[in-house]
Amino acid sequence: MQDNTIQNRTNPFFVPYNTPHDTVPFERIRLEDYEPAFMEGIRRDDEATDKIVNDPAEPTFENTIARVDTEKGEHYYDLLSRVSNVFSCMMSAETCDEMEEIAQKMSPILTKHANDITLNKKLFERIKFVHDHPNRELTPEEKMLLDTSYDGFVRSGALLDEEGKEKLRELTEEASMLTLQFSQNLLKENKAFTLHITDEAQLDGLPETAKAAAAHTAKEQEKEGWIFTLDYPSYSPFMTYSTQRELRKQMYMARNTVCTHDNEQNNLEICKRLVNLRRELAQLLGFETYADYVLRHRMASNTEHVYKLLNDLIEAYKPTAEKEVKEVEALAKKLEGKDFEMKPWDFGFYSHKLQMEKYNLDAEMLRPYFQLDKVIDGVFGLANKLYGITFKENKEIPVYHPDVKAYEVFDKDGSYLAVFYADFFPRKGKQGGAWMTEFQGQWIDHKGNNIRPHVSVVMNFTKPTEEKPALLTLGEVETFLHEFGHSLHGMFANTRFESLSGTNVWWDFVELPSQFMENYAIEKDFLRTFAFHYQTGEPLPDELIERIVKSRNFMTAYGCLRQVSFGLLDMAYYTQKKEFTADIMPYEREAWKKAMILPQLQETCMTVQFSHIMAGGYAAGYYSYKWAEVLDADAFSVFKKNGIFDQKTAQSFRDNVLSKGGTEHPMVLYKRFRGQEPTIDALLERNEIKVQHKG
């Protein structure tokens, strides 16, 4: 008992942080703090649940529904949320073997705890009573919380008998462990491969930035020469620029066969099992397929609408995509001889050559104009132009790594809005890719205080070297804008209930704010605000901007079909009605065949590394990227009409979309901003796709 008391006094999760804006005191948190904080958080959660369940008063919205969402035990902020947010963020951005061991241990415990709440019979009876007999007129936000609370319990098995509930526990606990194992296997496999070059001649074609980054990686590992990895900032330039076909093949095969090898990191059986677990879960809850279960709470609403979108896109884009690929193949034959047979590791290399031939433009030509510090100023400046908000770096706010910057964000009236963290560079223990996350959400506490969010954007941009600052590609500028769009959704949140705030929206709506921001990347008036040569200070020349605009749809149709193919693969797995027994690799090739233009190699596999649909929440939801693209093109067309910096339009977007979170049906929110439902027309127009209408 005494040990616990000492732990309670010293564990930073158990005491007020006493930091600026109550931000996480990373420097005080040790690995041994997580497990006791999780366990105490679970205990307090159980205590809070017992209070609600044993309240002698008749169930009402206030004493049941609102308390389930905002009850923080005796504390104004829930300990379990606090530690879970920090731990999950660190697992992605700053992990280590010990963290992974904690995750393995805590995952089934946390899943069991979540099930204990959603399968609590007395708690559900109270929620059902309020659902069936609301005690008063509810606001739209309260009605949404009531409906999502009730439905959330039903979808988690509250209406099942005891045998069914026990089965559901087994399924969810096993799925939770397998998704964790899937992610850890993928991280280990991706980190295990390196291409070590000691002969400088083998760097032929590579830009200086790629060579410098590889030399830096080698130096970090105390080796001579250059080291390339499967992390995107290393892999992508290598595949685009390297003239060494055999080395491109080596890199391609390494990246596209991860987790298929005969070792402990093989994900093939894990994927098969996850597909079956999710199908069993859906059928246990009365749905025919897992996709039916998921789409009940999506704008798309059913599989027919998803397939209609995917098939409409194939019909609209495939003729153009086929032409694009033929152009690349023709150029490759022109350069290498008519007998040249293009392989997957050649496509990026020759499509880049075609881009140069058509537009005399490539990512490296633009990189000197996209110095990271200036891009940050440009992106913050864009938010200021649109919404009047300002960012101020605050070095008093603790960070979890020296690379991370922390900012205070202030609204146009000068009031404090949020804390914004930015983590830009790859490192050991950090996952690849880019994402936005929250250390703290937004909600109104029981005293009426508007608790403001702490949001973080995490990316993997090429690091600065001794000779050069961090210089981005145009694609990386788009990535920054994308994640920044998510962060605006989080920072502008202004709702009563945390579970409905910020990015807590239906998944085919969540990408609208992020993809909307990407539109600015090629807008001349935006580029003019920050794109200056890092050495000379010269602005990005007009003729280069014109080439950017002209080339914006280069390989767009091919890229669209690639995304559609991933959507088809996702739907193929999650529309299974019977036990899935097929071999993953041949099944994958068949599933996305109608959207594929380049043949796939037999030994490569996407499924085993497709984190989005296996471990990342996009199961039966990958289509939502294209769904959101229809929305973002439609929304941005309003700004194109009224002016891309038009503050009145921006205020409407903030008021009706960004600040509202999931408080109302997303189509209601969107129509309030747009005045009508979205159509695919703006997307087709943006991509210069002409559809042949059948007469």
Domain count for the chain: 3
The pLDDT value recorded for residue 649 is 99
The pLDDT value recorded for residue 295 is 97
**Which of 554, 583, 610 delimits the end of a domain?**
554
Q: Could you tell me if 125 and 209 lie in one domain? A: no
The percentage of the chain sitting over the pLDDT mark of 90, rounded to a whole number, equals 89
The pLDDT value recorded for residue 606 is 98
Asked if the structure places residue 513 within a domain, the reply is yes
Catalytic status, residue 483: yes
pLDDT above 90 for 269 = yes
- How would residue 134 be classed by pLDDT, with cut points 50, 70 and 90? confident
Do the beta carbons of residue 306 and residue 295 sit within 8 Å? yes
Query: Which residues does 281 contact at the CB level (< 8 Å), separation at least 6?
Result: 168, 171, 172, 175, 290, 293
**Which of 256, 280, 301 delimits the end of a domain?**
256
Q: Could you tell me if 214 and 143 lie in one domain? A: no
Query: Which residues does 90 contact at the CB level (< 8 Å), separation at least 6?
Result: 99, 400
Q: Could you tell me if 417 and 540 lie in one domain? A: yes
Compute the half-sphere exposure of residue 70: CA atoms within 13 Å on the CB side of its CA.
Answer: 25
Asked if the structure places residue 538 within a domain, the reply is yes
Q: Could you tell me if 412 and 509 lie in one domain? A: yes
Q: Which two tokens stand for residue 136?
A: 């008063």
Q: Which residues span the domain enclosing 197? A: 193-256
The pLDDT value recorded for residue 692 is 59
- Start-to-end CA span in the chain (Å): 80
Residue of 40, 142, 173, 483 marked active site: 483
- How would residue 242 be classed by pLDDT, with cut points 50, 70 and 90? very high
Q: What is the DSSP letter of 63?
A: I
For the chain, give the longest Cα–Cα distance: 84
Q: Could you tell me if 496 and 448 lie in one domain? A: yes
The pLDDT value recorded for residue 2 is 37
What is the Cα–Cα distance from 59 to 130, expressed in whole angstroms? 6
Asked if the structure places residue 119 within a domain, the reply is yes
Q: Could you tell me if 408 and 483 lie in one domain? A: yes
Mark 483-515 as b/e (b = at least 16 C-beta within 10 Å).
bbbbbbbbbbbbbbbbbbbbbbbbbbbbbbbbb
- How would residue 202 be classed by pLDDT, with cut points 50, 70 and 90? very high
Q: Could you tell me if 129 and 234 lie in one domain? A: no
What is the Cα–Cα distance from 508 to 282, expressed in whole angstroms? 20
Asked if the structure places residue 279 within a domain, the reply is no
Query: Which residues does 101 contact at the CB level (< 8 Å), separation at least 6?
Result: none
pLDDT above 90 for 109 = yes
What is the Cα–Cα distance from 585 to 601, expressed in whole angstroms? 10
Q: Could you tell me if 129 and 236 lie in one domain? A: no
Asked if the structure places residue 57 within a domain, the reply is yes
Asked if the structure places residue 54 within a domain, the reply is yes
CATH number for the domain that contains residue 440: 1.10.1370.40
Q: Could you tell me if 505 and 443 lie in one domain? A: yes
Q: Could you tell me if 29 and 111 lie in one domain? A: yes
pLDDT above 90 for 258 = yes
pLDDT above 70 for 693 = no
